């Protein structure tokens, strides 16, 4: 039986992968992610997901490793995790009344047989126009400092989200549809 490892500290990714019914373990990659806001977000998430997967796969060569990285992209810049409440507020103001893209890079590695699959998934999110009381109400309800773009679509979306297109789970942090397809291709049916 192939051992499945998730190279991510994200509790949301852990929950989403568990929903697919796979037995897996979490091994957090000890890497420094590239988070330069001006980098092409597709390049950034591909780089970071591969960095995580490669680090874990080097330590567990027989395991199938999943690395993932997600960011929010608007105005030619990535909005990664906010450093503090002020930055989270600024991100929500920037997203207010606009459409942005959420990119996730997926990297699958199994060194024992040379398996290497990299995929990129994009979804779009339309934000409602947010006034200051709405932003404050949202931040009072949702811990946003560990979330790209300073928000979580799965928590109190009625306050901030008008609509989305594409994979909802991609916006959360792990596109389960694509993940399931790739794991099946790798010989791990759900």
Q: Known catalytic residues?
A: 69
Lookup: tokens for 51: 């960095």
Return the closest-CA partner of residue 79 out of 68, 91, 93, 89.
91
Q: Which residue has the tokens 């997967």?
A: 53
State the sign of the Cα–Cα–Cα–Cα dihedral 133, 134, 137, 138.
negative
Is 129 within 8 Å of 96 (Cβ atoms)? yes
29: alpha, beta or left, given left = phi > 0 and alpha = psi -120 to 50?
Answer: beta
Tokens 């979330």 found at? 147
The two tokens of residue 168 are 């909802």
Strands (DSSP E) contained in 92-166 are: 99-110, 115-127, 161-165
């Amino acid at each position: 039986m192939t051992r499945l490892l998730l190279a991510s500290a994200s509790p949301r990714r852990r929950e989403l992968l568990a929903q697919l019914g796979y037995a897996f373990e979490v091994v957090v990659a000890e890497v420094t992610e590239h988070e330069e806001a001006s980098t092409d977000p597709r390049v950034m998430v591909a780089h970071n997901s591969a960095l995580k997967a490669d680090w874990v796969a080097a330590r567990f060569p027989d395991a199938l490793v999943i690395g993932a990285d997600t960011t929010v992209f608007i105005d030619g810049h990535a909005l990664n995790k906010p450093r503090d409440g002020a930055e989270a507020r600024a991100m929500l103001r920037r997203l207010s009344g606009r459409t942005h893209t959420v990119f996730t890079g997926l990297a699958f590695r199994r060194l024992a047989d040379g398996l290497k699959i990299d995929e990129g998934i994009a979804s779009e999110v339309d934000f409602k126009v947010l006034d200051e009381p709405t932003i404050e109400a949202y931040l009072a309800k949702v811990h946003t400092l560990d979330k790209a773009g300073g928000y979580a679509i799965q928590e109190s979306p009625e306050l901030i989200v008008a609509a989305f297109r594409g994979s909802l789970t991609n916006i959360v942090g792990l596109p389960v549809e694509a993940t399931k397809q790739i794991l099946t291709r790798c010989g791990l049916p759900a």
